[in-house]
Structure 1
């Protein structure tokens, strides 16, 4: 509508999608490996759910042809975009990063080819179109990769998630609220595409020409930065009984971190080793799923089994010799492996009470490299990937801790290290390890991660609210995904329930008060009535008592004369009895 009023030529670039090609017949039916190129655009056929896209493409191309002097138009059909926002692939990045499932889902057989392009490379294509005005007005913007859905998801899982994938029926994908119909259509597209124009004619400084798989490290880095997903690593230090585990749990809930206790890590590591060495029955379905040509993986698994068996034997022997305890050598190995695991690298962790000594901290976090040997630097080299960013030291006097443990119920103490002998022994050991110059806190001071000290006795509160508040103030905001819709609904539901409970309690309290007041009023009323009756009775008795002398006087002095006058009145029966009686009494008196 505005074309007629253009004073100078306008350039219009429509960014479309390869989904407008999704139902196209292969260029060569006899050779399915031959890819579509830019020149095939006239024969393209859109996915049924993307007809609006192909109609828009056709309209823009038509306007460009009919008004060449005033309106120059281009179509850039983009592969599925990734990088920074990750676009349609974000679903896999998110569930991998959250570490909530043992495997990342692949919908269908996963053998469909998905054309892709990094968002910055797409921007470079658009810049080239704007600068050079190519002859062809339809441009495919895809990188040179030819990856299947399975390859893409496997790569994401390995570098962000649990490292495993799981093939699930396509219809199960609809169970996820994070996937729309458009997402699924895009993930199930099967197209081999090459862009000769972009590759040969455009001057592009590629960010990811070989695709997502070959550039995954950079892609993961961009993904975390763009979404503010940074790991948070905290070490909680303090004497036994100070509340490390309780506070660590609260921090884990608030920041969505992993609670790392050495005892749990050892148990988990031994269980994992036992699972690796346990004989496994071959599952025909699994073999078929993985496909052929995985000899290298099988050999690697065989080596892993041997290594796991050796380590498991050594660990069990060591525990037998040390009355169930494990040497630092093995504890440090298991702890280091745990801190390097993907969940800890993604979200982060709260390290609960371990390491306990300078040597353990140095061995756990030390970055081993040959060039530092003989170096004069006093600052130890440490591995930033696993070393805590925040060190919280909870402090309290022996007297305070002993009183706290003494006051614990027997049901809580039973079977724990809080029994009197064990607790005092553990407390003495902690004090011994934290009096020298080379303590675990000294290590963190040396690498300039200075501990935050919190006196638990000063902030004593039953639910550690003030202590956790202090720590959160120091650490700052969470660095992960916000609450999901389900979590928000759950929190709202809990808040509503709490509100209803509170209202019910307030109503019950109000009714109780009113009932008490009513009962008190009734009791007061009864008491008042009783008191009134008593007063009346006493008044009656008083009146009766006061009337006795008068009655006696009347009976003695008045009544005989009165009776005599009345008798006389009855005898004579005068016309005016009252006047007669008065005169008679006056005469008698």
Structure 2
């Protein structure tokens, strides 16, 4: 051990963390692996950060720990060693090799027994320690859930670390408080050898989310119009960003404070309702609804412990952290105030990045067919000018028709004015809208939460360079000298991928002519309209600046795909080329219900295939049996014919012999038998033989 420490460096600390493949422990491990031992002791940490990073791993935290699941992939990038399914003896050996032991029981109650054993085992081995050790138990504020108020007359007075002896746990967290008491007790024996600390953490958020993940996911998917709040939502929930929790642990290791019980919560006093509303507003539909608490039990995303935690009502203040630690907060003021940062972490960690695609091409080339297939594959939103306008008018009509109670969150008068302007403009232009309205509606659509979350496929628009410039323009002007040739654009609504479907006029004409009359009627595919639209398209793309030139200037180079196969009505080959160019989806993938449906369909297809194979096999067996029966019948028939012919031949061959016998043998034989009957010799056979020999010889 001494040699290992010497090799790593005198300031390096080996830190054990249990279940480093779980949400909270993984975030703590990642955070500590990037920090320098003792850095939190220096108030000027930020100023010397670059110099410390230049040192080759000197004075860093080396992270090791257990994992719940063994995978074939390499260990985590932040961990030095990972241990799977260790027995108690092996685990103790690993703990003895570490300077700091962090046991996280805040999110996994199954670790309570192991944490109790670990502190007891280390306590019994103190005499064998190579150096002092720190044991940190990351617990939860649920051990404070039923604590009586500091002042019954003022329920808003928060609890602090000084009140920890008065804490009373939630009924389902009594074992947690027992482990806390054991850890504190074991740390009082010989502090120079073994120091123990309890960190009662608020509900953790950030870095991809855990307990609040249901609300983030529901908002991001946009499949519900209102995000549920289980219960009244008036309960105050103490929270902490998971990186701030990791910072508390770093400070404990560096400072070794005299206070051994710490509250780890941020400054927020947000209610459950505040949190869900802000998540819905920042990421989802912006609407919430209160539902009975019992409905949370019907949601697969929540465990009993999660539901208990979301129902917690507790005001707590981490006084010690503020007064004694050099903690560089990520979200000191809480989730609601820092929602933009938290949402960005959520997107990046879970790789929920929007895919923005634009599909262009001449009329009747199949843009809409391909766009719908791409939307289905990637779970994107299909955006067309016509549908966006219809959707916007429907929204305005809905808002304009709201009563006073429903319309509090909306500008009903503004909605009515805009609706009247749109309808008036359309009536003056034969049902069409001026470009200024179209661009605004399309920008609003591309900036909507669904399109910003999952992404979109823009179908056949913009059509010209000027339209693209107007649609995607950026609000903030950049210095002219930095990017003089690039138009200003908004990267949040500008497509990342542009595909131009190309086809000859003859191919397109043949395709339109072969469309059924029921499809063509009432569309732009009638002969006159189609030819006009084709001429307009070719003229636009022959101009000096085209829509494809616009994307080229933004260095979003369009990919041209030739459509030449008239028999590929499903556009399978074109779709495959686009999917290959775009790559993998950047979303949650199929839901559990969709996976079950897909598995059901696959099972049905397999059953159909097996049934078809069985029918084919039975058909072949019947056919082979029939063939064998026919062959057998033919063989039997041939055999009978052969026997008949043989019989006839034998009959023909026997005629001369029969004639000879009837003429020469039968008369004499008859006479011999008559004489034999008369004489009755002792040996009739000998008599007959002698008679026949004598008479035949005489006749001969």
Q: Same fold (TM over 0.5)?
A: yes
**Distance across 2 between alignment mates of 1:92 and 1:310:** 35
Q: 1:559 to 1:444 in 2, by over 3 A?
A: same
Q: 1:211 aligned to 2:318?
A: no
8 Å CA contact 1:74–1:138 kept in 2: the answer is yes
2:344 to 216, 221, 225: 221
**The one of 232, 242, 264 aligned to 2:365:** 242
Residues 558/2 of structure 1: CA separation in 2 closer, same or farther (3 Å cut): closer
Of 222, 247, 255, 1:132 maps to 255
2:364–2:512 Cα contact (<8 Å) kept: yes
Does residue 450 (structure 1) correspond to residue 557 (structure 2)? The answer is: yes
Partner of 2:4: none
* Aligned with 1:84 (options 202, 207, 217): 207
Q: Distance in 1 between matches of 2:611 and 2:456?
A: 40
The change in CA–CA distance for 1:568 and 1:174 in structure 2 (over 3 A counts) is closer
Q: Choose the corresponding residue for 1:156, options 272, 279, 301.
A: 279
- Whole-Å separation in 2 of the counterparts to 1:64 and 1:210: 33
CA contact (8 A) 2:272 2:310 kept: yes
CA distance in 2, matches of 1:498, 1:370: 56
Picking from 201, 218, 241, the partner of 2:324 is: 201
Instruction: Tell me what 1:361 maps to.
Output: 468
> Quick check: which one's helix share is greater?
1
| Structure 1 residue 435: Cα displacement | 2.8
Provide the rounded CA distance (Å) in 2 between the counterparts of 1:379 and 1:119.
41
Contact 1:143–1:208 (CA under 8 A) maintained in structure 2 = yes
Q: Which moved more, 1:505-514 or 1:339-348?
A: 505-514
Aligned to 2:230: 107
2:171 maps to which of 40, 48, 51: 48
1:172 aligned to 2:279?
no
Alignment of 1:535-546 (within 5 A): none
Distance 2:345 2:538 in 1: 45
Instruction: Give, in angstroms, the shift of residue 577 of structure 1.
Output: 9.1
More displaced 10-residue stretch of structure 1: 127-136 or 424-433: 424-433
Name the CA distance, whole Å, in 2 between partners of 1:95 and 1:253. Answer: 19
| SS class of match (1:65) | coil
Would you say the 8 A contact 2:478–2:488 is kept in 1?
A: no
Residue 181 of structure 1: aligned partner: 304
Distance in 2 between the 1:452 and 1:246 partners?
Answer: 18
SS of the equivalent of 1:249 reads: helix
Matching residue within 582, 592, 617 for 1:510: 617
| Cα pair 2:501 2:561 within 8 Å, conserved | yes
Distance 1:504 1:20, change over 3 A: same
What are the Cα deviations for residues 485-513 of structure 1, in whole angstroms up to 9, with x where unaligned? 43333332222221111111111111122
Partner in structure 2 of residue 251 of structure 1: 374
Q: Distance in 1 between matches of 2:697 and 2:466?
A: 133
- Displacement after TM superposition at 1:282 (Å): 4.3
Aligned partner (choices 380, 396, 408) of residue 503 of structure 2: 396
> Closer, same or farther in 2 for the Cα pair 1:586/1:269, shift >3 Å?
farther
2:221 aligned residue (92, 95, 98): 98
Is the 8 Å Cα contact of residues 208 and 347 (structure 2) preserved in structure 1? no
Unaligned runs of 5+ in 1: 284-296
Would the alpha carbon gap of residues 9 and 582 (structure 1) be closer, same or farther in structure 2, given more than 3 Å must change? closer
Report how far residue 113 of structure 1 moved. 0.3
Q: Say what the alpha-carbon RMSD is for the aligned residues.
A: 3.4
* 8 Å CA contact 1:113, 1:191 repeated in 2: yes
Q: Aligned partners of 2:534 and 2:219: how far apart in 1?
A: 41
Shift of residue 89, structure 1, vs aligned partner: 1.5
Residues 537 and 422 from structure 1, CA distance in 2 versus in 1: closer, same or farther, beyond 3 angstroms?
farther
- Residue 456 of structure 2: SS of its match in structure 1? strand
- Alignment match, 1:290: none
What runs of 5+ residues in structure 2 fail to find an aligned partner?
1-123, 680-686
For 1:570 and 1:61, locate their aligned partners in 2 and report how far apart those are by CA, in whole Å.
136
Aligned-pair distance for 1:531? 5.6
- Choose from 428, 452, 461 the match for 1:321: 428
Confirm or deny that 1:273 pairs with 2:380: no
Quote the offset at 1:85 in angstroms.
2.9
Which string of whole-angstrom CA distances, capped at 9 and with x for unpartnered residues, describes residues 244-276 of structure 1?
223222222222211222222222111111101
CA contact (8 A) 2:511 2:566 kept: no
Distance in 2, Cα, partners of 1:144 & 1:444: 47
Once the two structures are superposed, the pairs formed by residues 478-517 of structure 1 within 5 Å of their partners are: 478-517=585-624
Q: Deviations over 1:288-310 (max 9, x none)?
A: xxxxxxxxx83x63xx2122112
After TM superposition, give the deviation of residue 543 of structure 1 in Å. Answer: 8.7
Distance 2:690 2:509 in 1: 107
CA distance in 1, matches of 2:674, 2:252: 151
Q: After alignment, is 380-389 or 353-362 more displaced? A: 353-362
**Which residue of 440, 444, 448 corresponds with 1:341?**
448
2:181 equivalent among 58, 63, 77: 58
Q: Does 1:32 find its partner at 2:155?
A: yes
How far the C-alpha of 1:462 sits from its partner, in A, is 5.0
In structure 2, the CA distance between the partners of 1:75 and 1:537, relative to structure 1 (3 Å rule), is same
**Residue 309 of structure 1 is aligned with which of 416, 424, 434?**
416
Aligned to 1:520: 627
For 2:556 and 2:418, locate their aligned partners in 1 and report how far apart those are by CA, in whole Å.
34
Q: Which has the higher contact order (CA 8 A, sep 6+)?
A: 1
After superposition, what is the alpha-carbon deviation per residue over 1:448-499, rounded to whole angstroms, capped at 9, x for unaligned?
Answer: 1001112222696454333322222211121112444433333322222211
Give the SS at the match of 1:4: helix
Q: Is the 8 A contact 1:459 1:466 kept in 2?
A: no
TM-score (norm 2): 0.73
Look up the match of 1:292: none
Contact 1:561 1:588 in 2 (8 A): no
Q: Do the aligned residues in 2 keep the contact of 1:459 with 1:467 (CA within 8 Å)?
A: no
State whether structure 2 residue 239 is matched by structure 1 residue 116: yes
Alignment partners' CA distance in 1, 2:216 and 2:501: 37
Does structure 1 residue 385 correspond to structure 2 residue 512?
no
Aligned residues: 569
Q: Deviations over 1:60-88 (max 9, x none)?
A: 11122232232222212111111213231
Contact 1:154/1:164 (8 A) holds in 2? yes
Q: How many Å apart are 1:31 and its aligned residue?
A: 1.0
Greater mean deviation of Cα atoms: 230-239 or 578-587: 578-587
